[in-house]
Amino acid sequence: MKPIQLQIAGLHSYRDQVEIDFETLCAAGLFGIFGPTGSGKSTILDAITLALYGQVVRAGGTSHPQESLNQHEQRLFVSFTFELGHDRERKRYTIEREFGLDKKGKKRQPEVRLIERATDDGADIVLESKATTATQAVEQLLGLTLNDFTRAVVLPQGQFSKFLTLKGSERNEMLQRIFHLHEYGEKLGERIRRTVEQNKEAVNRIEKELAALGDAGPDALAGAEAELAAAMEQAQNFTTQRADLEKKKAEQEQLRAWQKELGQIEQELLQLDSRKQEMDSLQERSLLIEAALQVWPQLEKVERLLTEHVALGTRLDSLRAEKAQTEQAYEESERRFLQSQAERKGEEPLLLEQKGKLAQALEWEQELVTLKTELVQAQQKWQQLVARQGDVHARLGGQQEQLAAWLRQREGMEAELRETSVAVEERKSILALRELKQAWERELARTRQLEAEAARAHVELHKQTEASKEQEVHWKQATAKREELAERIAAVEAQPVLDEEELASMRDVLQQMRNVGKEWRELGKEQEEWAKKRAEWEAQRKRVLAALEQAETDHAQKAGVAVKLLDEKARLEDELQKWRQQNMARVLREHMHDGQECPVCGSLEHPRAKTVAAETEHAIEQEGQAILQRLKAADTALKAAEQEAREAEQLLQQEKVAAAVTGEREAALIEEQRSHEARLARIKQECRDGGGRWTVGSVDDLLEVYKEQDKLLRTKTEERMQRKQELDRLMSEQQEQREQELAQQRLYERMQAVLEQARENVKAAKARWEEADKLTKAAEQALHASRKDMPIEAIEHAYAQIEERDQRQAQLVALRSELEPRIQQAQANLQNLQAEQAELEKEAAVAKERIGKEEQLWNEKHQRWQERTGGAKAQDCLSQVESKLASLQQAAEEAECAYARAREERQRVQEALVQSESSVQAQERQLEMEKAALADMLQDAKLQDNASVMTYYQERDQLPVYREAIRSYQTRIGQLHYDAARLSDKLGDRVATEEEYQVLCEAWEALETQLLSSRDQVAVSRQTLTRIQSSHERWLSLHADWQERIDELSRLEELRKLFEGKAFVQFIAEEKLASIARDASYHLMQMTKNRYALELGDGGEFVLRDEGAGGIRRAVSTLSGGETFLTSLALALALSVEIQMRGARLEFFFLDEGFGTLDPELLEVVLHALERLRMNDLTIGIISHVPELRVRMPRRLIVTPPEPLGAGSQIHLEME
């Protein structure tokens, strides 16, 4: 962790928010925080722990640090920014916490934010916003709890020696947390326990699965295969027998079917002969129906013509009556038309004249309405003008009064301006006096300031003089120490030790002998392995020879069986060939039919084709089938025997190869034995070449000699290393002392320059003060000469009065400036209102005159209109006249239209009557022709009359049925005769009896039952074999896995016993503590010049070994303050380094006490150690009151204490 920035507000003595830039402060690797007691130095560490963990260690570690809140503040805020990680994985985090009190003085809920700062242009990420989870997240990021953090990284007051005095259990728990040792103990033990449980579950699962698989081992597989082979052989025999019976059964069933079918055909022919008379009658009726269908269209045509003739006669009578009616209507419409024309000529001219007069009266009526509207508007306008005149008159009076008031106000302002004006001479006099007074006061203040600066310069000169003398003493002390170190280096260099070449030679010999011993021990293991392999080879050789002898015997037996089966197959093939030759003529006769050409002689007649009896033919066929079955069985057995012979031969070849390999392995073992003997001779020769002490007879003797020489080498090397380390340490101290001497010299020279500068500052300050005093006296004299009798105190009063009068004048001028525009505006408004009043008077007179003229015009027009209309509305009178005209015209038009319609209707009826008379005559001629044609067709069709045609026509739907019945009857008779002939040809002389068929069926059913049973047995056997085969591989895999799990479970149980309890974790914690104690002892010896060393006691507690007191071991409770500080510091440094070694990279270490308990020499040693650590990328910060520390720190953070009832603590940074 690297600190970047810390912000504090409201914590202890800090009131306002302050910010500490750790990035700048830590740049040099070492810095210090200095300030008086109570200034707030340790509060900085409190702020870091409060920000990270939400607790102040010195305040008891509560979750709400109310006791740490500043008494004058209601809010406490801390923000700490830090970095974690390496290179590209480095990230920056900020933890902010805010505490406070509400209005009632009670604690507020803390506000917390853990933020991951963005890189480049990204956005910040808020990781946590709750106090508890934020603290847990910080602990996870740092890998340290609060107690671990205050014991290994930040060591506040009162916590520095806690790790040194912790009990063994607490210290172990702390180490387990920091270094995650529980991963080696608890987690490892838990992992073992989980693995044991998993293995137990796996064993149970495998056992259950094996039980579910059943017996699926090798023995069960072989038994299932044998059972399936036997069942298949039996099923094959039954299948062959069933095929023979099925063939015979099929022949009997075919004959039975043919006989049955022939009997059915003959029965059906007898039934069809009985229906012959019925079919003849049906044939005759069908012919009559067909004739009726031919005559029916002509009959329909004659009847249709008769119907049309009657309709045409009815239509002719109707038209003759309609003609008489249309003649009468035509005459009446002609009379009405002539009458309407006469009435229109007499009345229409008078109505048109009256219409024109009334239209003019209507126009006069509209003009009167317009004139009346204009008159009303003129009167309204005149009234509006009168009202506006009154309004303007009122506004004119108000504006005149306002203008008079503003004029009076302006006159009062001008009078007051004259009264408050200041004379120019009086103003100049007062201003001059005031300037002289201010100049005198400035000079007086400057004189006093310069006098104080001169006093401070004298004090600083005294301090620098004392500091220069003290620095000169330090310089001389550093020179003396450097000379002392040079003498000690010379004394150490004079001590005799082995050189590096001699040590290297010893190391080379030891390394060579170590390699020889390793090779010798490996050779011994190889010889033991060779003996085991020799014994295994002997046993294997016996097994291979026995297996080879057995393989030769098996091969000879199986080869003999194959030869016998081959002879048997040849004999059966000869027997089958003889049977086929003897029965070839019979087979040829069976397949020949009359009319078919013989393949031997070409004859078409075969008189002896079927002379053999059926029983003899069946016996011969069975004999051939039996020979064929024996041949197939012999062939199958031969193939199996040949396969077994080949497998036996392959096994024999494998055994021969195994025997050859065994012989080759014997040669390899002999060669390996010779190699071992040669290597042993070479190893012993190398031992003799190493010298007399290395000539030994066994590897154990070589090991003893090696241990002695290795111990001697380590002793010599340790002596040389100690001398080298001592020289390096002394040289380093000499170099550091030389640098310190030079630094003290440079500091002394710098102080001399500062002292000289202080003297010059004193002289300059005194000169400036004397010059300022002269200027002050001169200013005072000039003031007294100008003020005359006016007291000095009255000058400011007079100047204030002038300023007040000037301010009042400015106010009056501003008010007058605001009033002037109002007066001007009022005057302009007054003129506008007067002009508006005159204009309104003119407009009112014009409006009055216009009203009189319009009233006169309206009266004249109204009188003429009343004379024309008689007082009624012109529109009503006009509507009446127009209505009469429209009625007259409508009556004339209607009479004319009725007359035209009557004329057209008379013409239409006349034309229809002529056309109807022509149609009746033509239709009568066609009817006579069609009746003659119908009579001819009835005679040709042998039908009596129209009624018989109708009767047969009504049966037309049955005609297809009649025809289909006749066709089916004729077709069926022909098919039955053909089938009867075909079946008679097939049957010939053969007859199938029911008794023979029943015997054959019973034999087939018995054989079928046996075959089904055998097939079921095959299916069961095959299913059993399939199940075993499918489970066999899984059974083998599960069995091997089960055995492996059992072995692993046994090992895990033994391992679990080793990890029970916390013994393993305790062992690792003790080893880690021992490592930290060694490192801390190294730091402590460096800081105390090898006087003190840190060790672990028998109970695991820390003890101090005091070499200055003869190596006595002391408990840490007996240490003085300085000794406790040094020991705790060494432990803290070792712990921090150990944390860094595990990858945490703290990069930061803070100390807050203890330096005041060290003498100057120990202080120098501690600072030297801290400066060395800062060179290893570890930033160290200290808090102290020791002045020497402040001088040695390259960067210093100075804390200024708070002021009573004023500002809080303040900080500033000092850098060289």
pLDDT at 62: 58
Three-state DSSP state, 1095: strand
Q: Which residues lie closer than 8 Å to 985 by C-beta, 6 or more apart?
A: none
- In whole angstroms, how far apart are CA 845 and each of 644, 848, 1021? 154, 5, 141
Helix (H, G, I), strand (E, B) or coil at 1200: strand
**What is the tally of structural domains in the chain?**
1
Q: Is 126 helix (H, G, I), strand (E, B) or coil?
A: strand
Residues of the chain with pLDDT under 70: 58-65, 120-121, 151-152, 154-186, 213, 496-500, 580-617, 657, 660-661, 664, 868, 1058-1064, 1137-1146, 1152-1158, 1162, 1165, 1169, 1171-1177, 1205-1206
788 in helix, strand or coil?
A: coil
* Distance between CA atoms of residues 166 and 1076, nearest Å: 14
Angle of CA points 1079, 1080, 1086, to nearest 5° = 95
How many beta carbons lie within 10 A of that of residue 273, not counting itself? 8
Q: Is 106 in a helix, a strand, or coil?
A: coil
Kindly give the pairing relationship between strand 1112-1115 and strand 1148-1151. Answer: unpaired
CA distances from 653 to 541, 543, 554, 660 (A): 16, 15, 12, 10
Q: CB neighbours of 984 closer than 8 A, spacing ≥ 6?
A: 262
**Which neighbouring-strand residues pair with 92?**
83
CB 333 within 8 A of CB 904: no
User: For residue 1216, what are the contacts with CB-CB under 8 A and spacing of at least 6?
Assistant: 1194, 1195
Q: What integer pLDDT is reported at residue 112 of this predicted model?
A: 92
In contact, 33 and 1199? CB cutoff 8 Å: yes
Residue 586 belongs to a domain: no
Burial class (CB in 10 A: 0-12, 13-18, 19+), 704: exposed
**Phi and psi of 983, rounded to 5°?**
-70, -35
- Answer yes or no: are the C-beta atoms of 1202 and 1208 closer than 8 Å: yes
Q: Is residue 49 part of a domain?
A: yes
Number of H helices, E strands in the chain: 23, 15
- pLDDT for 63 equals 55
* Inside any domain, residue 1154: yes
pLDDT of residue 94: 94
Question: ∠ at Cα 494 (490, 497), nearest 5°?
Answer: 135
Tokens 């008779």 label which residue?
973
What pTM, to 2 d.p., does this model score?
A: 0.35
The residue to which tokens 């040809």 are assigned: 985
Distance CA(1169)–CA(1173), nearest Å, equals: 6
**59: in domain:** yes
The pair of structure tokens assigned to 416 is 């007051």
Question: Which amino acid, residue 560?
Answer: G
- The answer to whether residues 750 and 407 touch, using CB atoms and an 8 Å cutoff, is no
Cβ proximity of 997 and 185 under 8 Å:
no
Tokens for 729? 């340490």
**Torsional class of 1105: left (φ above 0), alpha (ψ -120 to 50), beta (otherwise):** beta
Q: How far apart are CA 248 and CA 751, in angstroms?
A: 141
What is the SS3 assignment for 9?
Answer: strand
Specify the DSSP element, H or E, that contains 717: helix 699-787
Residue 47 lies in a domain: yes
- Give the residue from 765, 761, 763 showing the smallest Cα distance to 446: 765
Q: What is the spatial order of strands in the sheet that 91-100 belongs to? A: 18-21, 2-9, 75-84, 91-100, 111-116, 125-128
Is 614 contained in some domain? no
pLDDT at residue 20 in the model: 92
pLDDT value, residue 1058: 66
Q: What distance in Å separates the CA atoms of residue 569 and residue 151, rounded to the nearest whole number?
A: 101
* 3-class DSSP assignment, residue 1074: helix
Q: Which residues pair with 1197 in a beta bridge?
A: 33, 1213
CATH at residue 1195: 3.40.50.300
- Please report the pLDDT score of residue 750 as a whole number: 72
C-alpha 66: how far from chain center: 44
* Within-domain flag for 305: no
Give the 3-state secondary structure of residue 114.
Answer: strand
**Domain membership of residue 111 as a residue range:** 1-143+1145-1216
- For 962-999, the DSSP string reads HHHHHHHHHHHHHHHHHHHHHHHHHHTT----HHHHHH
What span, in angstroms and rounded, lies between the C-alpha atoms of 901 and 597? 107
Residue 404 in domain: no
Six token digits for residue 382 = 């005149």
End-to-end, the C-alpha distance of the chain in Å comes to 26
| Helix residue ranges, H only, 583-613 | 584-590
The closest alpha carbon to 697, from 689, 687, 682, belongs to 687
b/e per residue 1009-1021 (b: at least 16 CB within 10 A): ebbeebbebbeeb
Phi first, then psi: give them for residue 7, nearest 5 degrees: -120, 135
For residue 18, the model assigns a pLDDT of: 92
Check if the beta carbon of residue 252 is closer than 8 Å to that of residue 997: yes
Helix (H) or strand (E) holding 1196: strand 1195-1200
Instruction: Give the separation between CA 739 and CA 733, rounded to whole angstroms.
Output: 10
